[in-house]
Structure 1
Amino acid sequence: MLITTKAIVFSALKYGEADLIVKCFTEKSGLKTYLLRGVLKSKKGKLKASLFQPLTQLEIVAQHKDKGSLEYIREAKLLVPYESLHTNILKSAVVMFLSEVLRNAIKEEEANFPLFTFLEMSLLWFDQNEKTANFHLWFMLELTRFLGFYPDDSQRDGEVFNLEDGSFEYAETNNSCISDENVFQLKQFLGTNFDEISHIKMNQVTRSRFLLMLLNYYEIHLHGFHKPKSLGVLNEIYS
Structure 2
Amino acid sequence: MNSQNGFLLSFIKYGENDAVMHCFTEDEGFQTYFLKGIYSKKNKKKALLQPLNKLSFSVNPIKGNGISSVSRFELVKNHDIYTDIKANTVIFFISDFLSQILKYENKNTSIYLSIDAFMNELTHKNYQAHLLFLMVILKIQGVAPLLSEGKFLDPETGTFTTHSTHQLFGEEVSLIWKTAMTTENFYTIKIHSALRKEFLDSLLVYYHYHITDFKTPASLEIIQQIFE
1 CA distance for matches of 2:107 and 2:51? 20
Quick one: which amino acid aligns to residue 133 of structure 1?
Y
Whether the aligned pair in 1 keeps the contact of 2:118 and 2:129 (CA below 8 Å) is no
Which of 155, 161, 173 does residue 169 from structure 1 map onto? 161
Aligned to 1:29: 28
Shift of 1:150: 1.6
User: What corresponds to 1:230 in structure 2?
Assistant: 219
Structure 2: which 5+ runs fail to align? none
| Residue aligned with 1:184, SS | helix
Deviation digits for residues 200-235 of structure 1 (CA, Å, limit 9, x no counterpart): 2412x4111110110111111122211111111111
Of residues 140, 149, 170, the one that matches 1:146 is: 140
Output the CA distance in 1 between the equivalents of 2:195 and 2:186. Answer: 20
- Measure the CA separation in 1 of the matches of 2:64 and 2:116: 27
Q: How far did 1:188 drift?
A: 2.8
* 1:160–1:177 CA contact under 8 A, matched in 2: no
How far is the alpha carbon of 1:76 from its aligned partner?
A: 0.6
Question: 2: distance between equivalents of 1:210 and 1:90?
Answer: 18
Q: Aligned-residue CA RMSD in angstroms? A: 2.4
Match of 1:98 among 70, 84, 94: 94
8 Å CA contact 1:63, 1:72 repeated in 2? yes
- Give the alignment partner of residue 202 of structure 2, picking from 187, 209, 213: 213
**d(CA) in 1 for partners of 2:218 and 2:63?**
30
Secondary structure at the residue paired with 1:79?
strand
Whether the aligned pair in 2 keeps the contact of 1:151 and 1:166 (CA below 8 Å) is yes
Distance (Å, rounded) in 1 between the aligned partners of 2:211 and 2:64: 25
Per-residue deviation, 1:144: 0.9
Q: Is the 8 A contact 1:8 1:57 kept in 2?
A: yes
Task: Give the count of matched residue pairs.
Answer: 227
Distance across 2 between alignment mates of 1:208 and 1:125: 19
Matched to 1:27, the amino acid is E
Partner Cα separation in structure 1 for residue 166 and residue 153 of structure 2: 11
Partner of 1:74: 71
Q: TM-score, normalised by structure 2?
A: 0.89
| TM-score between both structures, scaled by the size of structure 1 | 0.85
Query: Is 1:52 aligned to 2:46, yes or no?
Result: no
- Provide runs of 4+ in structure 1 moved above 4 Å: 66-69, 174-177
Is the 1:55–1:99 contact (alpha carbons within 8 Å) kept by the matching residues of 2? yes
Identity %: 26
Identify unmatched segments of 5+ residues in structure 1: none
Distance 1:133 1:126, change over 3 A: closer
TM-superposed CA distance for 1:179, in Å, is 3.7
Deviation at 1:169? 2.3
1:175–1:91: structure 2 CA closer, same or farther, 3 Å change rule?
A: closer
Q: Paired residue for 1:8? A: 7
